[in-house]
Copies of this chain bind each other. A is one copy, B any other.
Amino acid sequence: MSTFRRRVIPDATIARLPIYQRCLMELEEDGRKKASSEQLAELAGVNGAKVRKDLSYFGTYGTRGVGYDVPHLLHEIRRELGMTHDWPCVIIGAGNLGSALAKFGGFVDRGFSVVAIMDVDQSKVGHQVGSLTVRHEDELPEVVKEFDISIGIITTTAAAAQDVADQLVEAGVRSILNFAPATLDVPYGVLVRDVDVAIELQILAFHEERRALSEAEIV
C-alpha cells in the first residue's frame, strides 16, 4: 500500500469541472487555441479567481501572460474526470422519464452510454425504447456483469426506489443517480446523487414568494 496521498479536490470544484469541460468544448469547436481564466469564467458564469483556483488543484496547465491551452486543458480535465473511457449505465424504470433519458443521445459525447433499460412491468418488458429492448428487472445481476456497469439510474416510482437501490448495490453498482423523490439508504462506499426537479421548482417558488412579499411591503 502506497503512502502517497492523492491531492484532495474540494467537492465544489469537482462540480464545476464538467462546466469547464463544456465551455472548453465550445471554445475548441470555435477553433480557439487559448483562453484566459477570465474568458473561461465568463463562459462558465463564475469569476476568474475561482477558475484559476479550481484548475490549480490538479496541476499547472496555464502559462502566465498567455492563459490556458484549450486542447491541453480539455484533455487534462477529461482525464481528471475519468472521461478517457466510456461509462456504461443502466436505467431502471422504463416509464416516462426513463424512456426519455434512454432515447436521449446527448450523453454519448460526455462519455456515457445507456446500455440497458429495465422494468418490472411485464407489459413493458420486450418493448423497444430507442435502440434498446426493455429487459426484466430480475436480470439486473447478469446485465451488470455483462456490460460491466458501474452507474445505475433510478427512474422508478418513489415507492420502489429503495428496493431498486438495494438490488443495484447487491449487483455491485456503487454509483447511483436517483430521480425518484426518496431518500435512499445505501452502504458506506456507495455514492448516490439525487436529481429532484420538484425541489428545484420549490426553491424557485421560495424566492418568488419572498420577492412578492418584499414588493408588497415597499408599496
Contacts and interface: CB of A to CB of B under 8 A. Distances in A.
Interface residues of A, number: 67
Interface stretch (A119-127, A133-141, A196-204): A196-204
Contacts of A193: 200, 203-204
Copies in the complex: 2
Contacts of A175: 204-205, 207-208
Nearest to A157: B106
Given A205-B111, A206-B80, A209-B81, A198 B103 contact: no
Contacts of A100: 96-97, 99-100
Contact of A19 (B183, B206, B217): B183
A139 to B, nearest CB: 23
Interface of A: 1-2, 4, 6, 14-15, 17-19, 21-23, 43-45, 80-83, 87, 89, 96-97, 99-101, 103-104, 106-107, 110-112, 150-151, 174-177, 181, 183-185, 191, 193, 195-214, 217-218
A74 to B, nearest CB: 14
